[in-house]
Amino acid sequence: MNLTAQAPLPFDHPVYVTRPVLPPLADYTRSLEQIWQSGFLTNGGSQHQDLELALRAYLQAPYLSLFNNGTLALLVACQALQVKGEVVTTPFTFAATPHVLAWNKATPVFADIDLETLCIDPASVEQNLSRHTSAILGVHVYGMPCDVNAIAAMARQHQLRVIYDGAHAFGTQLEERPIIHHGDATMLSFHATKLFHSAEGGALCMTDPDLKKQVDLLKNFGIKNEEEVLLPGINGKMNELQAALGRLVLQHVDAEKQRRQVVRDIYTERLRELLGLRLLSMPVNATDSHQYLIVRVNASQAGCSRDELHQRLKKFNIITRKYFYPLCSDYDCYKHLPSADPRRLPNAHRVASEVLSLPLHGALAKDDVHRICDAIAFSLSHP
């Protein structure tokens, strides 16, 4: 093991896992001036329309509907696709994933994950299907594509809906095909922590024009026109201030991805020398969303556990995240479910004890990344 003998100096300010991409303030100010002149703040104004078109082109999305946040987008997807009964999903995800099922009066059924991709395991999905199952809700964890072909085949066989939580998968492609082309609908998150963001926001991507019409109705109270309300909807609209920021951030996404690739390359070179650490990387047929940089800590080989490394790095002002820990199946609101039994989820529990999200954003200088790697190497052998 290549260890650093002398403790590196801590950073003067906390170094977080991510940092939002922000366009020049003057550019956003000009957009705000346009909004002020229009007097149009929401309800599908010009900023909203332009961002929707720009994202459709950038993502190669047949149909796309903007939302004020990703959770509401996922909530509406479940409502539009009439998800009910039981829905098989993963416990290794953010809280919003199972929560949208509960809000739609559906019961999340937790399937185990694949040890390599960390996404939901199709074999475990099949084991958890029942006559009450209406859908599969998969998560492209850290932008890693689910086994979409196996899930699609299973859905056809059992006549199930397929929804993907693609919060981490902005721009991800599998075999040169956008990941959003798979399933009935894919949610994207535009939260400030994401590579592309609009401070808060999200979208649903679809291939069915009728589903797009239904989604647009649902996110606007079910209102068709001034005199007709067709169904009980909700307010999920993205406003003009969010859309304007999103339009500008989109112009910087490709440059930010290039900067993040430089950061990832340094991590890859430095951390592969350290016994017990393994970086999660995309398969050769998939593109990296550059959303997160995840290392798995094998405590028996590394000399310390993931939790210990997480705490030791704080001494250097490096703030990592145990993402995702705890599992959703361990939440008080779900742990009573039969599928939440840890004995049924061995892979998920193992991975949740190993993963650590490291700082990954374009504002990190090369020297900063080397300092982080030095701190990791030192922390492995110094309590």
Signed CA dihedral, 128, 129, 133, 134: sign only? positive
- 145 and 258 inside one domain: no
Residue 4 has pLDDT above 70, yes or no: no
63 occurs within a structural domain: yes
142 occurs within a structural domain: yes
Reduce the DSSP state of residue 259 to 3 states and report it.
helix
pLDDT at residue 327, rounded to an integer: 98
pLDDT band at 132 (very low <50, low <70, confident <90, very high): very high
List the one residue out of 159, 205, 162 whose CA is nearest residue 58: 205
Pair 187, 204: CB distance under 8 Å: yes
- 240 and 112 inside one domain: yes
238 occurs within a structural domain: yes
pLDDT at residue 6, rounded to an integer: 82
Pair 302, 274: CB distance under 8 Å: yes
pLDDT band at 1 (very low <50, low <70, confident <90, very high): very low
CATH code of 365's domain: 3.90.1150.10
Domain count, the chain: 2
Q: Average pLDDT, stretch 177-198?
A: 98
DSSP symbol at 319: -
pLDDT at residue 309, rounded to an integer: 98
pLDDT tens string 108-130:
999 999 999 999 999 999 999 99
- The residue segments making up the domain with residue 371 are 253-320+359-381
Among 250, 281, 309, the domain-final residue is 250
5 occurs within a structural domain: no
Q: 324 vs 81, 316, 348, CA distance in Å?
A: 27, 22, 10
- 270 and 375 inside one domain: yes
- 129 and 237 inside one domain: yes
- 60 and 188 inside one domain: yes
Q: Average pLDDT, stretch 154-162?
A: 98
Whole-number average pLDDT of the chain:
97
- 185 and 261 inside one domain: no
- Tokens coding 83: 């998800």
pLDDT band at 163 (very low <50, low <70, confident <90, very high): very high
Among 195, 229, 250, the domain-final residue is 250
- 207 and 141 inside one domain: yes
pLDDT tens string 268-325:
999 998 999 999 999 999 999 999 999 999 999 999 999 999 999 999 999 999 999 9
pLDDT band at 214 (very low <50, low <70, confident <90, very high): very high
pLDDT at residue 5, rounded to an integer: 64
Residue 379 has pLDDT above 50, yes or no: yes
305 occurs within a structural domain: yes
87 occurs within a structural domain: yes
Among 209, 224, 250, the domain-final residue is 250
If phi > 0 it is left, if psi is from -120 to 50 it is alpha, else beta; for residue 130 that is beta
292 occurs within a structural domain: yes
pLDDT at residue 381, rounded to an integer: 87
CB < 8 Å & 24+ apart, contacts of 228-236? 234/72, 234/75, 234/76, 235/68, 236/67, 236/68, 236/69, 236/72, 236/73, 236/75, 236/76
- 109 and 205 inside one domain: yes
Q: 325 vs 22, 95, 168, 247, 345, CA distance in Å?
A: 29, 10, 17, 33, 14
pLDDT at residue 383, rounded to an integer: 81
- 239 and 313 inside one domain: no
> In percent, how much of the chain has pLDDT > 70?
99
376 occurs within a structural domain: yes
- Tokens coding 25: 């303030």
CATH code of 88's domain: 3.40.640.10
- 75 and 177 inside one domain: yes
Q: Average pLDDT, stretch 243-263?
A: 98
- 196 and 305 inside one domain: no
- 40 and 187 inside one domain: yes
